[in-house]
Amino acid sequence: MNHNSKISPNTVNKILSVIIAIFLWIFVIGGENPVKERTIRSVPVNLKNVETLADNNLAIAGSTDYTVDVKIKGQRTTVDPLTVDDITVEADLFGYGQGQNYINVTAVIPDNTELVEIRSPKIQVNIEELVAVSKPVHINFINVPAGKEIGGIIEQPTEVEVSGAKSLVNAVAWAFGTVNVNGSEEGKSNTVQVELQPLNDGEALVENVRMSSQYADVSFVIMDVKEVPLVVETKDESDGRVLSGIEAPETIEIRGLPQDLEQIHEVVTEPVDLAGLELNEDGSAIASLEAILPQGVELASKNPTLQATFQVKEVSAGILEFSGNEIEIRGLAEGLAADALEGIYTLHVKADEEVIDRLELSDVVLYVDGSQIREEGTFSLEILAEYGEEIDEVRVVPESAEVRVRSLEEE
């Protein structure tokens, strides 16, 4: 027996109640965990294939610490806990060459989220030629005791190779290290290991370069300081100049161990060759001085560079010959007589050209000083000269004469 099927009002109400309940559940859940957008800022950019730049003798000029902001979308409970560590951002350098390059940035984000935007989608990377240049090691010493200086410095290495982008390497002035001498023994060699940093002329760190050595071994001695007179020596290998004046430090400071400094009462320079000086219009020239110092003694920091101003006169040179009997013997003790042994001597004279043109042997008196001789015999005495103001310089070759001294009583 067939009956027409009818849905009862009660059943309809139940179905409607279920549908309403589902919508209410969706509404409530959606209200508690809505979809939202969130920007995660300063996400580091991982540079890929950097090694391919070096393979092509290229390098990045400037910092490699790139960051971007990443905007994502997802349900609140998903996106709110996210940090920069949950997002991976990359830029691939493969195939790029020298110059300013704008490289696409990609981001890998967590599941159940959607990428909205990367700010900015490209990063600017400056790529230059890869170079390697040797730079000097420079060591700074701090906390040096008062009245002392650091000397006997030995650095290993004295230079390091700095490599990287050309502009960055060129900006590096030296590999810089600092030594704190607190606790170091005075008068003895101390050795420490120092960390080096690539610095520019303004002593600022140059980043993104590599050094062949990050450390240097430094030996040093804490030394005493002493002030002593300075004696400046000159010579003229051309015979065409004479020294008419000199401005040089009267004293210099030197450093060394106490027992070494005690033996030094003056410092003499290597002779400055007047012939090699480039004279100004006024006849002056500035030249560096090289102090002759014993081993273990150094110039102090007060005078790391030593120089003098020379006043030089251009002159003519003349040569005269004379014999031994033209040399006077002065100062002999009573009862003694002497004769200079025969020989040919040359008299080298420097003066103005007109003086040289009329020069005669009588313009110069040559003599030896026998005041120290008290007995008979043959003696070698220095030949001395007396001459007028019109003559600038006199030199005798050879510089000494053989003199035979005899007793007058025997005669």
**If we measure between CA atoms, which residue out of 393, 388, 386, 266 comes closest to residue 328?**
386
Who has greater pLDDT, 404 or 241? 404
Q: What is the CA radius of gyration of the chain?
A: 45
CA atoms within 13 A on the CB side of 73: 5
Decide whether 129-223 matches 316-407 in CATH topology: yes
Q: What pLDDT score was predicted for residue 25?
A: 61
What does the mean pLDDT of the chain come to? 91
Residue 148 has pLDDT above 90, yes or no: yes
End-to-end CA distance of the chain: 189
Range 363-388 average pLDDT: 94
CATH of domain 129-223: 2.170.120.40
What's the CATH number of domain 316-407, 2.60.40.1220, 3.90.1110.10, 2.170.120.30, 2.40.50.140? 2.170.120.30
pLDDT at residue 31 greater than cutoff 70: no
What's the CATH fold of domain 35-127?
RNA Polymerase Alpha Subunit; Chain A, domain 2 (2.170.120)
Query: 């704190």: which residue's tokens?
Result: 180
Distances from the Cα of 280 to the Cα of 239, 241, 272, angstroms: 19, 14, 17
Query: Which H or E run contains 377?
Result: strand 377-382
Separation between Cα atoms, residue 286 and residue 120, nearest integer Å: 60
Q: Per-residue pLDDT tens for 254-294?
A: 999 999 999 999 999 999 999 889 999 999 999 999 999 99
Which among 342, 329, 166, 149 has a CA at the least distance from the CA of 227?
A: 149
Q: What is the pTM of this model?
A: 0.65
- Mean pLDDT in residue range 107-132: 94
Which phi-psi region, left, alpha or beta, contains residue 132 (left: φ > 0; alpha: ψ -120 to 50)?
Answer: beta
Residues with Cβ within 8 Å of 98's Cβ and at least 6 positions away in sequence, in order, are: 58, 127, 128, 129
Longest dimension (CA), the chain: 189
pLDDT digits (tens, 9 = 90+) for 326-375: 999 999 998 999 998 888 999 999 999 999 999 999 999 999 999 999 99
Q: How far apart are CA 208 and CA 138, in angstroms?
A: 20
Our CA angle for 287, 290, 296, nearest 5°, is 160
Q: What are phi and psi of 373, to 5 degrees?
A: -90, 130
CB 60, CB 91: distance < 8 Å = no
List Cβ neighbours of 267 (8 Å cut-off, separation of 6 or more): 228, 229, 230, 231, 252, 254, 291, 292, 293
Residue in 198, 64, 57 with CA at minimum distance from that of residue 130? 57
Domain layout of the chain by residue ranges: 35-127, 129-223, 232-314, 316-407
Asked whether residue 72 carries a pLDDT value surpassing 90, the answer given is yes
Give the pLDDT mean for 185-200.
Answer: 95
The residue-averaged pLDDT of 298-323 equals 91
Asked whether residue 1 carries a pLDDT value surpassing 50, the answer given is no
Indicate the pLDDT class of residue 410, thresholds 50, 70 and 90. low
Does residue 55 register a pLDDT over 50?
yes
Q: Where are the beta strands (DSSP E) in 18-63?
A: 35-48, 58-60
Q: Does 232-314 carry CATH code 3.30.2010?
A: no
- Beta strand spans in 49-158 (E): 58-60, 67-75, 88-92, 99-104, 106-108, 114-119, 122-142, 148-156
